[in-house]
Chains A and B, each alone.
Chain A
C-alpha cells in the first residue's frame, strides 16, 4: 500500500475545527427569523381508543399560533392517531407557539378522552390466542402449519387430478399444531438449506437454548429535530438532522402529496444516527404541516424522553436456537425460530435472523422468523440491524458446543469458518475475506493463547459478520486557478466520510490533502446521493469520488497536451503538476496553471463528474475478545480487557477506522451489559438516562483495536464499510466471558448484576 500518499494516512478530519469550536450547525442550531416552536401532543396510554380531542383551552393560551390534528393532513396519510393509539407517546396532535415553554403548556392543555384497552408488551405473550390483537384479527400460521397449508394450496391448484383425499388428510393434520398458531404477526421470513433433522440426527452433541435480547435505543446524542419553512408560493425548505436528505424529501413528498421539486431538504450536521435517523414522520412532517398552517418557520425538536417513548429503537427478540456438531468439532446443523418485537407497526429486521449462520460452513440450516406486534413504538435500524441479536444467539451457542466437545473456542471457530470458494446460499461462492486472519489477529493481540484468569475472571471470544450496502451517488470535482480542488456532493458526512472522499480525490489528483475542500449541497442543488446508513458511504461515495477524480484527471491531461503540444501518452500527473515523461530538461505545468488556462479554451474549466450506483461488496468480519471479572456477591461485571479486530479491506483514514471499531464495540458492550428499554402496562418506564443507563468513560477500560486489511475487490482502494461490523460480536463476547468467569451461561440480556446473582443462585452457588 506504500504507493499511496494520502489514502491510508491518518489525517485531521475536514470538519475538525468547526466540531471543536462549537461552530458546527446541528439541526437545533438553525433559527430562521420569526421561528415558532412546535410540540407534539402524545398519547398518555399504551393502548386506548380515542373518544375525543379537545383543543379549546390550549387555543386560548397567548402565544399559541396553531394546533393541528389528523384533520389537518390534506393527503389523509396517517401522521397523527385518530380513533386508537397503540403505544405510549404516539402522536395525536401538534402545537406551534412563539416560545418552547408555551408550546409545552399548550400541549398539556389539550384534553384527550381515552378508553383504555388491555396492553401486551411481551412477544411471547403477544403471539398467544389470549393476547389483545393490535391490528384486528391479524393471525398467521406457525412453521409446520404453514408448510402443510402450502402443500394444500399446491394440491388444490392441480386441477388435472383429484387430490381431495390427500387434502382432507392434510387438513386434519393441521389440528396437530394448535400451539403453532401465532397471533399479532406483522411479517415473517423463512429459509432452509439441507436437511436439519438429518443433521441433528448425525450430530454427537446437540445444544438447544432460548436467547432473549432486549429492545435498545440508538441513543444518538442529538435528539430528533427539524426546522421547516413553507413560503407563500408553497415552496418548502426543511433543515433536517438526518442520515438521508433525499429520503426525507421523497418521504415528505409522498406523505403530504407535494411534488419533489417543491421541497428542499438541507441536511444539517448530525449528532449521531446509527441507523435511527431516517424516519420522516417523527419530526419532519409535523414541522412542515405546522409551518404550512402558520406561514412561519417552525422547529420541532424531541426531548430525550420523547426519544425513548417515540423514537424508533432496535427491536428486541426471542430466538430459540438449536445446533448440532460432531465430537471432532464439525457443525452439522442449526435451526432458529425467532420472534422479533416489531412494536405497533411492522419493520423489525427479522430477515437478519439468517445471521445465526455466521461465517461457518453449516450444511443444514433452517430459519423461521416472525415480527410480532406489541404496544410499543415501531423500530428502525441500529448499526448492522438485526445482526447483534442473531449473532448473540449463534456465538453464545457455539461456545456451549465447544465446551461440550472440549475444544478451544478460537480453534473451534477457525476450524468451521468458510474459506474462499466455499459454497454459500444464493448460488455464489465465498469471496476472499479475512475471517481467519481477523480472528487470529485478535487472539494474538489479546494474548489468548497464554491467557490467565484469576478467581472469578474469564475470557470470551466471538465474531460477527456484516456486508456493507451500496447505493447511488454523484460527485463533482473542480480544479481552480490556484491549484485547489473543490468537491461537491450530496451525502451526509457520517463521522469521517467527507474526509475519506477528500483523501481519495487528493490521491488521484496528486495534490496535498490540505488543498482539497468539500461542500455538501442540499437536495435542490446536489446530485442524488444515497442515505448515509448501512456502511455505504465510504464504499459508494468513495467509488463515486474516484470516478469524478479520474474524469478530472483525464481533462487535466487533455489540457496539458494542448498547452504543451505533446501527446497525452507522454504526460503524467504527479505532485500536483503534469510532467512530460522523461523530458530533459524536465518540463511540467502545474494544476493551477492548467486550471487558469482552461478558462479560455474551447473545452472549458476542469470539472470531473462521478456517478455510481451499485457494486457488490464483500463481507467484513469483526472479532473480539474480552477479559472480565465478576463479583459473585454483587453480580457486577468489570471489563479488564477489550480487544477488537476487524477486516476493513483497506483503512483510508486509520484513526477514523479505529474510532469506528472502538465506538461500535462499546455500543455492543452496552447492549450486552446494561441497556434495556423497559415496558409496563403504561408503556416505556425508563425514558431517561437515569433509568436507561448508557456507558460513560467510567464504565470501561481502553478498547484496543486491531485493523486487518484484506482488500474488497470492488471497494475504493479495497475499502469496505467499517461502521456496522464492530457492534455485531460484542454481545456474545461478553456473555462468553461471563460464562468463562463464573461457569453460568446467561442467555437473557442485559447481563445486569441482579441477573448474574440469580443465575448463580439457581446454579447452586
Chain B
C-alpha cells in the first residue's frame, strides 16, 4: 500500500514518518512512534482508553487517521508531567485512588485534563456526564470523580 509522508508533533517532538493512509493515530503513536502509554481498549471509539489531546481537544485516537493529524499538536499521557513534576490531574488520581488496573487511566487523565483546561468549574454531575465516553471497569468511578473534582479545584485555584 502506498505510504504517505506525515509530520506528527507529539509532546513537542517532531516525527517525520512514512505511513500507510489506513493507519490510525493510535496505531502510529504506539507502533511507530513507540509511545505505548496510550491504550487500545476497543478500536471503535467507544471506550476512551486511547484518548489524546490534539490541538487542545480530547480525541479518541483510534478513530483518527494518522494522515489527518499531520502538522497538529498532539499531547499523550507521556507528555503530561513536566520537569519530573506530575500534572495535578495525575497527582489527584494517585491521592484519591482513582485507578486500579490503570488501563483506562491514561485515557481518563487526558480526557479530564482537556475538560479542566476548557472549564474547571463544573459540578460533579457535569463531570460525570462529560466523562461518559470513557470506560473504567475497575473503580466504579467514585474515586475517579473524586480525583477529577480535586484536580479541577486545584487548577481553578491557581488559575
A interface with B by C-beta (< 8 Å) = 10, 12-13, 15-26, 28-29, 31, 100-101, 218-223, 269-274, 303-304, 495-496, 655-656, 658-659, 662-667, 688-690, 694-698, 700, 702-703, 705
Contact present for A221 and B135 (CB under 8 Å): yes
Q: Give the complex CA separation of A221 and B99 in angstroms.
A: 12
Contact present for A222 and B97 (CB under 8 Å): no
Contact present for B141 and A700 (CB under 8 Å): yes
Chain A proximity mask over B41-73: 1 for CB below 8 Å, otherwise 0: 111101101000000000000000000000000
Q: Which residues of A contact B41 (CB under 8 A)?
A: 221-223, 271, 304
Contact present for A29 and B36 (CB under 8 Å): yes
Contact present for B102 and A15 (CB under 8 Å): yes
Q: Which residues of A contact B40 (CB under 8 A)?
A: 28, 223
Contact present for A697 and B102 (CB under 8 Å): no
Contact present for A688 and B42 (CB under 8 Å): yes
A19-B102, A656-B97, A663-B100 known; A272+B138 contact, CB < 8 A: yes
Cβ < 8 Å to A, chain B residues 74-103? 76-78, 80-81, 86, 90-91, 93-97, 99-103
Q: Give the complex CA separation of A496 and B141 in angstroms.
A: 17
A22-B77, A221-B135 known; A703+B142 contact, CB < 8 A: yes
Minimum C-beta distance from A222 to chain B (A): 5
A15-B102, A21-B81 known; A700+B140 contact, CB < 8 A: yes
A16-B94, A17-B94, A659-B97 known; A220+B137 contact, CB < 8 A: yes
Contact present for A496 and B100 (CB under 8 Å): yes
Contact present for B101 and A220 (CB under 8 Å): yes
A20-B94, A272-B103, A667-B137 known; A690+B142 contact, CB < 8 A: no
Q: Which residues of B contact A270 (CB under 8 A)?
A: 101
Q: Which residues of B contact A664 (CB under 8 A)?
A: 140
A22-B36, A662-B139 known; A655+B90 contact, CB < 8 A: no
Q: Give the complex CA separation of A664 and B139 in angstroms.
A: 8
A665-B140, A689-B44, A690-B46 known; A222+B133 contact, CB < 8 A: no
Chain B residue nearest to A221 in the complex (CB): B103
Q: Which residues of B contact A13 (CB under 8 A)?
A: 94, 97
Q: Which residues of B contact A28 (CB under 8 A)?
A: 30, 36, 40
In the complex, which of the residues A656, A658, A696, A702 contacts B135, with contact meaning CB atoms closer than 8 Å?
A696
Q: Which residues of B contact A700 (CB under 8 A)?
A: 140-141
B27 at the interface (CB under 8 A from A): yes
Q: Give the complex CA separation of A86 and B96 in angstroms.
A: 46
Minimum C-beta distance from B57 to chain A (A): 19
Chain A proximity mask over B102-137: 1 for CB below 8 Å, otherwise 0: 111110010000000000000010011101111111
Chain B residue nearest to A666 in the complex (CB): B140
B interface with A by C-beta (< 8 Å) = 20, 22-23, 27, 30-31, 34-44, 46-47, 49, 76-78, 80-81, 86, 90-91, 93-97, 99-106, 109, 124, 127-129, 131-145
Minimum C-beta distance from A688 to chain B (A): 6
Contact present for A24 and B42 (CB under 8 Å): no
Q: Give the complex CA separation of A612 and B134 in angstroms.
A: 40
* Residue of A19, A702, A703 with highest tally of chain B CB at under 10 A: A19
In the complex, which of the residues A17, A22, A223, A665 contacts B78, with contact meaning CB atoms closer than 8 Å?
A22
A700-B141, A702-B142 known; A659+B102 contact, CB < 8 A: no
Q: Give the complex CA separation of A24 and B93 in angstroms.
A: 15
In the complex, which of the residues B77, B135, B136 contacts A21, with contact meaning CB atoms closer than 8 Å?
B77
Contact present for B37 and A697 (CB under 8 Å): no
Q: Which residues of B contact A221 (CB under 8 A)?
A: 39, 41, 47, 49, 101, 103-104, 135-138
In the complex, which of the residues A18, A272, A656, A665 contacts B101, with contact meaning CB atoms closer than 8 Å?
A272
In the complex, which of the residues A12, A25, A496, A665 contacts B94, with contact meaning CB atoms closer than 8 Å?
A12
Q: Which residues of A contact B38 (CB under 8 A)?
A: 22
Q: Which residues of A contact B31 (CB under 8 A)?
A: 31, 100
Minimum C-beta distance from B132 to chain A (A): 4
Q: Which residues of A contact B93 (CB under 8 A)?
A: 19-20
Minimum C-beta distance from B99 to chain A (A): 5
Contact present for A101 and B20 (CB under 8 Å): yes
Q: Which residues of B contact A25 (CB under 8 A)?
A: 36
| Contacts A304-B47, A664-B140 known; 10 new A-B pairs at CB < 8 A | A19-B99, A21-B37, A22-B36, A31-B34, A31-B36, A222-B39, A270-B101, A659-B139, A697-B131, A698-B129
